[in-house]
Amino acid sequence: MILRVDGMRFGYASTPVLSGVGFAVAPGEFMAVLGNNGAGKSTLLKCINRILRPNDGAVLLDDADTKRLGRVELARQVGYVPQRMESSRMTVYDTVLLGRRPHIEWDAGRRDYEVTERVIDQLGLGHIALRTIDELSGGELQKTAIARALAQEPRVLLLDEPTSSLDLRNQLDVLGTVRRVTREHGVAVVAVMHDLNLALRFADRFCFLSEGVVHACGGPEVVTPHVVSAVYGVDVAVTSVNDVAVVVPL
């Protein structure tokens, strides 16, 4: 396993948010973190990336505690895409190049430009590479944010609602690209998602959070009507269409 979260606890003052959360993700695996609003999903990603400091527990990369890593070394290994990317007058190209910062000592070199151009091509951003961030649509902005994280060449990629501003075609395109690229390079993905059917289509593993606690975690076998009903409070059927599993509210 590349990433292991063990007994993570986090809270604000007397308000617990995460309680004993634990799971592991292997190279090339895509884990979807699922649950109602307020379940602690985004907080979990921020604790993994040390944006927030957990009250207890450990985050391990190859069995090494990330508390022992400096910020630059952590950024070389963990890429993070938040829910919203701030607008700016930077071009798409320069924004993606920023993802190389953890690897640059003095100035960008040939490899940094090669990686930037490869990622821009992989996400289909070549036609807007010289446009500024504040000129982009929501979907283009989200693709740029993901491209910047991939340019870090991380071993772990954290995505917070990566399809929240995308139309159906771009949802399928972005998640398909992320899954393909991460499998090719053995990257472990942890993505907060709201759409159960997109998760079933693209994820290998599923972690259901309910009130800050792991309710169920595993492969497709844990996505059952009982689990979904318990976590979301909605009766559903889990069936398949053209061999693709789907969740249907009843």
- Which domains, and CATH codes, for the chain? 3-87+153-249 (3.40.50.300)
Tokens matching residue 65: 């505690």
Extract the runs of DSSP E, i.e. beta strands, from the chain: 3-12, 15-25, 30-34, 56-61, 64-65, 78-81, 156-160, 188-192, 205-210, 213-218, 236-241, 244-249
**Residues contacting 114, CB < 8 A, separation 6+:** none
pLDDT for the residue 125: 94
Question: If you average pLDDT over every residue of the chain, what do you get?
Answer: 92
pLDDT for the residue 3: 96
**Which residues, given as ranges, of the chain have pLDDT below 70?**
none
